Amino acid sequence: MPELATLAVGDELPPITRTLDRLQLVLYAAGSGDFNPLHYDPDFPQARQIGDNIVFGRLKYAALGQLVSDWLGHRGFIRRISASYRGMDRRGQPFTCRGRVTALRKKRGQCIVELELWTEGSDGRRTTEGTAEVALPLCDSG
Amino acid sequence: MAESIEITPEMRAQIGVESGPWPYEVTATGVRAFARGVGYTDPVYYDPAAARAAGYQHLPAPPCYLGTPAFLPGHSDPVFSTQPGADPRPRYGLTQVLDGSTETVYERPLLAGENLVGRHRLVDMHVKQSRTLGAMLVVTSEIRFCGDAGEVVARERSQRIFY
């Protein structure tokens, strides 16, 4: 949960590292309704061509949402969240969700926090890049 | 690998056309299934008592979850479960698809028990050349989600890549 009094540009969100097995990919298919076999069927031609099943882009997007949600601890409102999928993450290979505060401003009794979000593979290469805007109540630092 | 992709006048005519309304349900079961799929351990997305203790009347929708589109055989996409018209793939004969980007703008938080209505609109289509994938069709679309009173509650803009 962010400490509003000390929140500052450059602050990093506590990272989340995920390694998704086939079961987790199937659970996401069920939860999202996206049953594209690329993400869970090893014999699917597109998966064979790529070399393995790959993580749903939107799962990485939602995992960045989780990063923000876990950080907020239900104290704020996510007004906007975006991600673009720059590279593939394969099944069973760890990736880490990270975020950083890029701007803070006061607006009508709220603190608007801009975040930079990304996922990176174990080699540090960014596979997803995004941003979010969060409204927190009663900012002291603006 | 496609050498080139032509955006035909027929395809271009789809840009800007808004679909009819389609139901999207935010249910407790749907919230739990999505949270589980993403890997949340936060009980607020699973347990109504934990949700109440956190200040919500019902389970809140996790970020990036805008409800589950009602599935209707013969109308919904059988693989992606999307509403009719939201997946241009079969019309254009390209077989492979990847997500390019997604952005959601919320007007307010969403809670289990809400019945939303989504309207899909194709925003843009362009061809891009990839060194590894060849010619790709990049399709931008938007779904506008409305609540019970017709008020806009969220907009989701996404890019999908067909090749």
What 3 state SS string does B132-155 have?
A: CCEEEEEEEEEEEEECCCCCEEEE
Please calculate the CA angle B78-B133-B84 and round it to the nearest 5 degrees: 20
* A28 inside domain: yes
CATH number of the domain residue A35 falls in:
3.10.129.10
Q: What is the pLDDT of residue B92?
A: 66
Does B106 reach chain A within 8 Å, measured CB to CB?
yes
Does B112 reach chain A within 8 Å, measured CB to CB?
no
Tell me which of B154 and B87 has the higher pLDDT.
B154
Half-sphere exposure of B50 (CA within 13 A, CB side): 12
DSSP letter for B30, please.
Answer: H
Give residue-wise pLDDT tens across range A19-32. Answer: 999 999 999 999 99
Separation between Cα atoms, residue A140 and residue A37, nearest integer Å: 49
Tokens of A77: 């409102």
Indicate whether A3 pLDDT > 80: no
First-to-final CA distance of chain B: 7
CB-based contact A33 B69, cutoff 8 Å: yes
Architecture category of domain B9-162 in CATH: Roll (3.10)
Tell me which of A82 and A139 has the higher pLDDT.
A82
Bridge partner residues of A16 (DSSP): A97
CB-based contact A77 B63, cutoff 8 Å: no
Indicate whether A139 pLDDT > 70: no
According to DSSP, the β-strands at A126-137 and B97-106 are unpaired
Q: Which residue of B64, B69, B100 is in closest CB contact with A62?
A: B64
- CB of B101 closer than 8 Å to CB of B123: no
Separation between Cα atoms, residue A73 and residue B119, nearest integer Å: 31
Q: Where are the domains of chain B?
A: 9-162
Q: What is the pLDDT of residue B48?
A: 98
Does B38 reach chain A within 8 Å, measured CB to CB?
yes
Nearest alpha-carbon partner for B140 in B104, B106, B100, B105: B100
Residue A6 distance to chain B (closest CA, Å): 23
Give residue-wise pLDDT tens across range B37-75. Answer: 999 999 999 999 999 999 999 999 999 999 999 999 999
Tokens of B17: 């056309």
Give residue-wise pLDDT tens across range A60-78. Answer: 999 999 999 999 999 999 9
Report, as an integer, the average pLDDT of B89-116. Answer: 88
Tokens of A140: 């002291």
* A142 inside domain: no
pLDDT-derived band at B26 (thresholds 50, 70, 90) equals very high
CB-based contact B98 A79, cutoff 8 Å: no
Report, as an integer, the average pLDDT of A78-97. Answer: 97
A59 to chain B: closest CA residue: B38
Q: What is the pLDDT of residue B89?
A: 60
Query: What is the domain range of residue A57?
Result: 4-137
Indicate whether B11 pLDDT > 90: no
CB-based contact A31 B109, cutoff 8 Å: no
pLDDT-derived band at A141 (thresholds 50, 70, 90) equals very low
Report chain B's mean pLDDT, rounded to a whole number: 92
Q: What is the pLDDT of residue B88?
A: 57
Those residues with Cβ within 8 angstroms of residue B2's Cβ, 6 or more apart along the chain or in another chain: B94, B134, B135, B136, B163
* Cβ-based contacts under 8 A for chains A and B: 110
> Considering its fold, how many domains does chain A have in total?
1
Q: Which of residues 121-150 of B touch A (CB under 8 A)?
A: none
Owner of token pair 């995004």: A130
pLDDT-derived band at A113 (thresholds 50, 70, 90) equals very high
Residue A133 distance to chain B (closest CA, Å): 9
User: ipTM of this model?
Assistant: 0.95
Indicate whether B112 pLDDT > 70: yes
Indicate whether A56 pLDDT > 70: yes
Please give the order of strands across the beta sheet that includes B152-162.
A16-18, A95-107, A110-121, A126-137, A77-85, B97-106, B152-162, B134-146, B114-130, B22-26, B68-69
* A112 inside domain: yes
Question: Cβ–Cβ contacts within 10 Å for residue B145, how many?
Answer: 23
Q: Which residues of A touch B40 (CB under 8 A)?
A: 66, 69
Reduce the DSSP state of residue B115 to 3 states and report it.
strand
* A116 inside domain: yes
Q: What is the pLDDT of residue B97?
A: 85
CB-based contact B62 A80, cutoff 8 Å: no
